Amino acid sequence: MSPSLTYTPWSGCDIDNIKTLSQTTLETLKFSTDDLYEEWINNFLVKAAEGHICLKCGRDFSAEWSSLATYEQNALRDIVERLTVNCINVAVGNKVGKIVKVSDYNIQMSDPRIMTADLKELLESFVTTTSVSETSDYATGNMQQRWGES
């Protein structure tokens, strides 16, 4: 039986690569078949990761994908895959417990953050910003006059 991959990722990320990067087996998360595990990764985690990236960057990459340079597509694909792996790692952490042994005498809580600082930094070059004067009426004489600044 092949997986029912109802979502087609705009990033073109590779589920096998995600599984390799996560080093998590379907048994760890109690999936009965590899197809169900792949469906969960593709239809839920990848879709959510792509959505978070679009929100963080203020862009619709599904519409812009074909106009991006190859190196930009590769960079975004890598970020989607890493974000998805972080989701899997949080799921594993939730399953096995949030306390992680660091050394013989040290333990710490596992980090539940999925959008880590390094991923946010990688996304910075894709974030769109708009100047206030471009989007508001403040730059017009009308707004300056209403605020008594003319």
Share of the chain above pLDDT 70, in %: 71
Tens-digit pLDDT profile for residues 90-139: 888 766 655 656 666 666 555 666 778 888 888 888 888 765 555 555 55
Gyration radius of the chain over CA positions:
21
Is the model's pTM score more than 0.75? no
The label of the residue with tokens 């730059």 reads 139
Q: What is the pLDDT of residue 133?
A: 54
| Residue 87 burial (CB count, 10 A) | 21
pLDDT of 47 above 90: yes
| pLDDT of 53 over the 80 cut | yes
Averaged confidence pLDDT in the chain: 80
Q: How many residues does the chain have?
A: 150
Residue 18 CB: number of other CB atoms within 10 A? 24
| Residue of 127, 125, 113 lying closest to 83 (CA atoms) | 113
pLDDT tens for each residue of 27-40: 888 889 989 999 99
Q: How confident is the model at residue 66 (pLDDT cuts 50, 70, 90)?
A: very high
pLDDT digits (tens, 9 = 90+) for 4-14: 778 888 898 99
